[in-house]
Amino acid sequence: MDFGRIAQDLVKALNDNSGATMAVVTLVYTLITLAIVLETRRSRLVAGEATVLYRASPWPKMHLVLAVRIENYGPAVARDVTFTYWLSRADGSHVQGEDAAGSLHEALLPIGLPREALPHDPAAQNRNMDGLAEAGLMLNAEWSWRDGCRHLHKAKDSRRVAQVAEDYHGSKVLIEHFPLDSLPKIEKHLDGISDSLSEIAKAVAER
């Protein structure tokens, strides 16, 4: 096989069709550039997203109490965050009382900084979650936020308190405390250690 002859024929073919060759090369270059631009835009949008999620569950500090919670899971800061929750009865009427509903607005909600509330029926004898469940109450929530790209997101949730109680208390699954809840106890413990060391140092100095 004469590779030299083949190379000459290939060069001659490219020279004879230089216009078409340049058109193909330009098209390929354009498609690659467009793909890079789209991927860059997609990466920028992902980096600007803020995912604000809602949860109804036992309160980690006291598992018999119902808690509602929103948290920004990022990766961007959530802006113009609004959060409203309320208890309602089977007929749709709102439970009356300042502790049965609440509303929050924050200009900025950083990643990993949750917001919690403890809704309950002021008229109920048993204010624990099981008491709310026995009263047949519904737990409702609506929340909205803007991400880093200023896109507006809205969400809502409505469920029976009895379902929340069954999901957690009925499952027998253990609910752990949030790590940050232990910081005051750790600080108090460290203060006690510091006081003990001071007393030891004082006793040694007096000898």
pLDDT for 83 equals 97
Helix (H, G, I), strand (E, B) or coil at 4: helix
Domain ranges of the chain: 3-47, 50-185
pLDDT for 61 equals 84
Q: Provide the β-strand partners of residue 146.
A: 79, 152
Nearest to 99 by CA among 148, 132, 146: 132
CB 82 within 8 A of CB 143: yes
Concatenating the DSSP letter of every residue in 26-94 gives HHHHHHHHHHHHHHHHHHHHHHT-EEEEEEEEEETTEEEEEEEEEEEEEES-EEEEEEEEEEE-TTSPB
CB 79 within 8 A of CB 144: no
Identify the segments of the chain with pLDDT beneath 70: 1-25, 29, 34-48, 172-197, 200-201, 203-204, 206-207
pLDDT for 24 equals 66
Cis peptide, bond prior to residue 75, ω within 30 of zero: yes
pLDDT one-digit tens code per residue, 46-102: 456 889 999 999 988 888 899 999 999 988 899 999 999 999 998 999 999 888 999
Q: Looking at domain 50-185, what is its CATH homologous superfamily?
A: Immunoglobulins (2.60.40.10)
pTM across the whole model: 0.64
**Cβ-based neighbours of 61, under 8 Å, separated by 6 or more:** 177, 181
Nearest to 113 by CA among 77, 85, 149, 139: 77
What is the phi/psi pair of residue 198, to 5°? Answer: -65, -40
pLDDT for 33 equals 72
What is the phi/psi pair of residue 103, to 5°? Answer: -145, 140
Helix (H, G, I), strand (E, B) or coil at 141: strand
